[in-house]
Amino acid sequence: MSMYALLNIPNHANCNNCGECCYMVMASESEIKNIKKYIRKNPDVLKKTGKRLSLKCMFRDDKEKKCLIYPVRPLVCRLMGVTKGMECSQGNSHNIDGYKFFNSKVTNKPRFLNGTKWR
């Protein structure tokens, strides 16, 4: 079960996988640990990642229009397009209060995904 399953964050119904929101993604230490565990189970993910120096999230696959770590994507990605203040160009499908999801357990020591060593 996902560490966010109990949060009941609604899915973004208007998403067309354009990737406009996939830039410089921040993740907490616990999210990064979860992503590393996912990568160990799915080693092909790193073979498909983009350049680290790009501003775009390294786990965005533009060719296939998808997130390579979607099942374990960070909280900030889950809130895009469903949270007040995190507008999507396709229109938000919900306007929930995202602040209630952030606490010290979820947001401890955030860092950029592109700046993380994955091996």
Per-residue pLDDT tens digits for 50-64: 666 678 999 999 999
For residue 60, what are the β-bridge partners?
67
pLDDT of residue 105 exceeding 60, the answer is: no
Taking residues 29-56, report their average pLDDT: 89
Taking residues 79-107, report their average pLDDT: 86
Distances (CA, A) of 39 to 84, 91, 119: 31, 31, 9
- Enter the pTM of the model: 0.87
Share in percent of the chain as helix, strand, coil (round to 5): 35, 10, 55
Taking residues 55-79, report their average pLDDT: 94
pLDDT band for position 68 (50/70/90)? Answer: very high
Closest to 80 measured CA to CA, from 90, 71, 72: 90
pLDDT band for position 107 (50/70/90)? Answer: low
pLDDT value of residue 15: 94
Q: How far apart are CA 21 and CA 51, in angstroms?
A: 17
Helix (H, G, I), strand (E, B) or coil at 34: helix
For residue 56, what are the β-bridge partners?
23
pLDDT value of residue 52: 64
In this predicted model, what pLDDT tens digit does every residue of 22-31 receive, in sequence order? 998 999 998 9
**Burial of 3 from C-beta contacts in 10 A (0-12 / 13-18 / 19+):** middle
More confident residue, 101 or 44: 44
For residue 96, what are the β-bridge partners?
83
Taking residues 82-91, report their average pLDDT: 93
**Contact of 36 with 30, CB cutoff 8 Å:** no
